[in-house]
Structure 1
Amino acid sequence: MAVAVYFFCLGLSFATWASRIPDIKASLRLSEALLGTLLLALPAGQMLTLPFSGRIVARYGSKITLGIAFVFYAFSLTNLGLAKEGWQLGLALFAMGISGNLCNISVNTQAVSVEKMYGRPILASFHGVWSTAGFSGALIGLLMISLKLTPYQHFWIIAIAGIISTFFANRFLTESATTSPSQESTEKTSRFRKPPKVILQLGIIGFCCMASEGTMFDWSGVYFQKIVKAEGSLIPLGYASFMIMMALGRFTGDKLQVRFGKQRMLQLNGLLIFTGLSTAIFFPQLLTATLGFIIVGFGVSSVVPMVYSTAGKIPGMAPSIALAGVSGISYLGFLLGPPLIGFVAELTDLRFSFGIISVMGLLIALLVPRISAFK
């Protein structure tokens, strides 16, 4: 429950920021191009800390790191509401990315530790809590806007609620996620060595999945507008159907993994990503495209949790170090996928660019049997 509280508060904080982006864009008078550039500051902060975050968590323990990092994450959220210039917003997003990555590595380290204690898959359910928090944050955002609260006031309400909730939850986190002296010595001696093969393999699977996720997050609305030709009120249908099924898939993913096994589940997930995107590409009508996006939502739902779970159990390697390596490679997919869509769409069309992403789902299905960690 304590780990779930952190997942929920992290998801709620991020969704809170996302719900007020239009207001901040308007108040700062930012163009679409400038806003897009500034939004890159958040992943830039995350990528900057990836080489160190795993070692920080391994050195001080995920419990302490998560407790401190979340406080900074909450304060970073409030700083977004203080921005009066574009560069100030970019700086605040960069700080949020740094603290957010430390939270991400430490909370997933905690989740892997709890999963080991339970002796059965539960990581996907934790990620389902994050998705649920995203819906909650969007609804709370609508409420705050209707009450005419400024983003700064809104952010402080969420930050205070999050800090209080996680303060009480922190004492119940496990202490078992700390690196032993022998592990820490081993990691220091291998600091500049090539990452183990299994880290690269897991990272590639995560890369393919997160490229698909990023595409759905950033381009689903555009696809429904430009290709499906949905009416104004129905444009968000694709994104909403994808998000709902992704959340449902995460809550059911653990039980399905127990029944069918990790390898078969990942193969199925990859095929669903391919099938769902292909359906939306070849049958771009409202009903069929929505069905396709629903299939994609279920396809991506459990891939990253299963990859992270596997990374956290690599023999002879601290979970936080392994998670940092795998998440670093995976997150590149989230960063590179959406720009690739735009570039290819400019040269050809949006359906062709979605086809490239669909192939990544097929790659997941083909590569998984060749990775020994999933056997």
Structure 2
Amino acid sequence: MVGSRDRLARTGVAGVYFVQGMCFAALLTRVPALQEKFGFSEGQLSLVLLAVPVVAGVGSVLAGLLATRFGSAIVLRVGGLGVCASIVGTGLVASRTTLYLDLAAVGLFLGLVDAAMNMQGVAVQRRYGRPVLASFHGVWSAGAIAGALATAVTAHWRWALGSALGAVALLGAAIALAAGPRLLRPAEEVSPVRDNAVTRIPWAPIVAVGTAMMLMYIADSATSNWSAVYLHTGLHSSQGVAALGLAAYQTCMVVGRAFADRLVARHGPVRAVSIGGAVGVLGLLVVVVARSPAVGIAGFAVLGLGLCVVVPQSFSVAGQLDPGGTGIAVARVNLFNYVGFVVGAALIGLVAQSRGLRAAFLVPAVLAVGIVVLARSFRPRAVAAGDARGVRPVVGG
């Protein structure tokens, strides 16, 4: 039975997801402004964007080590405020050197929060005894919409770069501080069943679902890092309209994830991931053939609707592989997030420089077919033990 403490924890974790999505999107939709401010070519910009997920991977590993010892809540409370503070710095720096240092801090804090918030999300799902993880990622997407719209609204303000990021950071810090006391404490998120059979995490299924998530994040990286640039420079939209590509993508992420938990519970994760991957391929092909900003934005929307299910189900599998609730499997799967983001940023930048952004978006379209092929790796797994209160294991997704 779901208790009041579980519901309270769910609201706190949702708040953390919202802040992370909002800050991330607010920063990425300012990429065209950063490119113009510092005079980056597309190749140089790809290298700058590449550095953030590389450092975030370090943050994810660090989160796994810290959460195992201190619990994921403290990692989130520190990391969340760090994300907010560092994105403010991005809007204020005046030289390339200080920008690089600030983006390194952004990446480190993003990695800490990404891993730790999914540890909390998996723990809440385990306590609920039914799929709820997609709803958290839906809240992340809602936050991303808010961040992208903040850019669209402030695109023509004087000092828009600093003021937009500052406003988002202040709101994010307030929500993070309110959410902190609601998060699950270490004793609440970890199962007492911690023998060797439970805590030995198999690598083969992690690599399988992680690869599918990597392919998803290649497409996500292309959208997050390059949709605004593509719409602005390739399809000749204004900067305000260019920010709507990411907003449309995340809007359909929210719509899809609002129903994903129920669809997975009814039809199973294999079918959900397979169909979602196919729809994602279709959305990217629409982006490639677009001749107007409206069609390009529509393609990003279809992409979001298709790929919305992949990440929540990847972390659900991680939770099933780690019924002891150590967070080890979640941290490992989360690394594929950054591998995908790094590969996506590099591939799109390299192809864009030689063939243009239109051709560059064909690359993730082809790679996303792999998600359909790997869908079988998301089949439900029996869990050795439930949590301390006897809640049934989650095997539906």
TM-score with structure 2 setting the length: 0.78
Counterpart position of 1:206 = 213
Partner Cα separation in structure 2 for residue 357 and residue 196 of structure 1: 25
Counterpart position of 1:257 = 264
| One of 177, 182, 189 as aligned partner of 1:177 | 189
Give 1:58 shift. 1.7
Counterpart position of 1:336 = 343
Give 1:163 shift. 2.9
Q: Given the alignment of the two structures, is residue 98 of structure 1 paired with residue 108 of structure 2, yes or no?
A: yes
Partner Cα separation in structure 2 for residue 170 and residue 360 of structure 1: 38
Counterpart position of 2:6 = none
* Identity between Structure 1 and Structure 2 (%): 28
Give 1:158 shift. 3.8
| One of 106, 117, 128 as aligned partner of 1:118 | 128
Partner Cα separation in structure 2 for residue 357 and residue 153 of structure 1: 33
Deviates more, 1:35-44 or 1:204-213: 35-44
Q: Given the alignment of the two structures, is residue 232 of structure 1 paired with residue 237 of structure 2, yes or no?
A: yes
Counterpart position of 2:389 = none
1:232 maps to a residue whose letter is S
Partner Cα separation in structure 1 for residue 272 and residue 92 of structure 2: 45
User: How has the CA–CA distance of structure 1 residues 239 and 197 changed in structure 2, closer, same or farther, with 3 Å as cutoff?
Assistant: same
Contact 1:269 1:300 in 2 (8 A): yes
Q: What's the secondary structure of 1:294's corresponding residue?
A: helix
Listed one character per residue, the Cα deviations across residues 204-257 of structure 1 (whole Å, up to 9, x for unaligned) are 11011111212233344565678xx74535766655543332232122222222
| One of 305, 315, 318 as aligned partner of 1:308 | 315
User: How has the CA–CA distance of structure 1 residues 323 and 148 changed in structure 2, closer, same or farther, with 3 Å as cutoff?
Assistant: same
Give 1:345 shift. 5.4
Partner Cα separation in structure 1 for residue 247 and residue 174 of structure 2: 30
User: How has the CA–CA distance of structure 1 residues 291 and 186 changed in structure 2, closer, same or farther, with 3 Å as cutoff?
Assistant: closer
Q: Within 5 A, what are the aligned runs for 1:50-65?
A: 50-65=60-75
Which ranges of structure 1 fall in alignment gaps of 5 or more residues? none
Q: Within 5 A, what are the aligned runs for 1:25-104?
A: 29-32=38-41, 33-104=43-114
Give 1:145 shift. 6.1
2:330 maps to a residue whose letter is L
Give 1:107 shift. 1.0
Contact 2:351 2:360 in 1 (8 A): yes
1:255 maps to a residue whose letter is R
Contact 1:54 1:322 in 2 (8 A): no
Partner Cα separation in structure 2 for residue 342 and residue 151 of structure 1: 23
Listed one character per residue, the Cα deviations across residues 159-214 of structure 1 (whole Å, up to 9, x for unaligned) are 44333332232221122224769469997xx8xxx961111111111011111212
Counterpart position of 1:129 = 139
Give 1:115 shift. 1.6
Partner Cα separation in structure 2 for residue 161 and residue 239 of structure 1: 20
User: How has the CA–CA distance of structure 1 residues 63 and 363 changed in structure 2, closer, same or farther, with 3 Å as cutoff?
Assistant: same
Q: What's the secondary structure of 1:232's corresponding residue?
A: coil
Q: How many residues align?
A: 366
Deviates more, 1:160-169 or 1:66-75: 160-169
Contact 1:30 1:86 in 2 (8 A): no
TM-score with structure 1 setting the length: 0.82
Contact 2:144 2:250 in 1 (8 A): no
Counterpart position of 1:196 = 203
Q: Within 5 A, what are the aligned runs for 1:260-279?
A: 260-279=267-286
Contact 1:43 1:94 in 2 (8 A): no
| One of 215, 234, 245 as aligned partner of 2:252 | 245
User: How has the CA–CA distance of structure 1 residues 179 and 354 changed in structure 2, closer, same or farther, with 3 Å as cutoff?
Assistant: same
